[in-house]
C-alpha cells in the first residue's frame, strides 16, 4: 500500500496507517531518484549541508519544519505534507502501551 493512498498531497489524512513509512522514503522514491539527484546535489538545491540531508536520509534525523519548507519549495509540494508524514511516522513509533499516564481531572 502506498503512502499516497493514506495521506494526500494537500495533507489530508484519509486513513491512518499503523506503521507508516519514514517520509524519507517518499523523498527518495518520489523525488531524489526520479530526478537522479545525489545527496550532495539535493543538499545544494535545498540550501543545506550535505551532512544535514544525509542525516535525514539515513534516518538519524527527522524532517524539521524548516526542512519541510525547503523540500516543499524545491519540489512543488507543501510543508504541511512533509510535517504530516513525519508526525504520522513519529506517532507510530510511540509504544502507547508502555506510557502509564492517566487523564488529569480537576478535583471538584
- Quick check: is 102 in a domain? no
Domain tally, the chain: 1
- Tell me the residue range of the domain where 45 lies: 3-93
Mean pLDDT for the stretch of residues 31-36 = 97
- Quick check: is 77 in a domain? yes
Q: Residue 12 maps to which CATH number?
A: 1.10.260.40
Does pTM surpass 0.85? no
Question: Which residue is listed with cell 524545491?
Answer: 74
- Quick check: is 101 in a domain? no
Q: Which of 64, 82, 84 is nearest to 72 (CA)?
A: 82
- Quick check: is 108 in a domain? no
State yes or no: pLDDT of 5 exceeds 50: no
Please write the tens of the pLDDT for every residue from 52-97.
999 999 989 999 999 999 999 999 999 999 999 999 999 999 988 8
Query: Could you tell me if 88 and 7 are in contact, meaning their C-beta atoms sit under 8 angstroms apart?
Result: yes
Mean pLDDT for the stretch of residues 7-32 = 77
State yes or no: pLDDT of 14 exceeds 60: no
Amino acid at each position: 500500500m502506498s503512502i499516497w493512498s493514506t495521506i494526500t498531497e494537500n495533507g489530508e489524512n484519509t486513513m491512518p496507517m499503523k506503521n507508516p513509512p519514514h517520509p524519507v522514503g517518499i523523498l527518495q522514491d518520489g523525488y531524489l531518484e526520479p530526478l537522479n539527484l545525489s545527496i550532495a546535489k539535493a543538499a545544494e538545491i535545498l540550501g543545506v549541508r550535505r551532512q544535514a540531508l544525509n542525516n535525514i536520509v539515513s534516518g538519524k534525523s527527522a524532517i524539521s519544519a524548516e526542512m519541510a519548507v525547503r523540500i516543499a519549495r524545491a519540489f512543488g509540494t507543501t510543508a504541511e505534507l512533509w510535517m504530516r508524514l513525519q508526525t504520522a511516522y513519529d506517532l507510530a513509533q510511540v509504544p502507547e502501551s508502555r506510557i502509564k499516564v492517566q487523564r488529569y481531572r480537576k478535583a471538584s
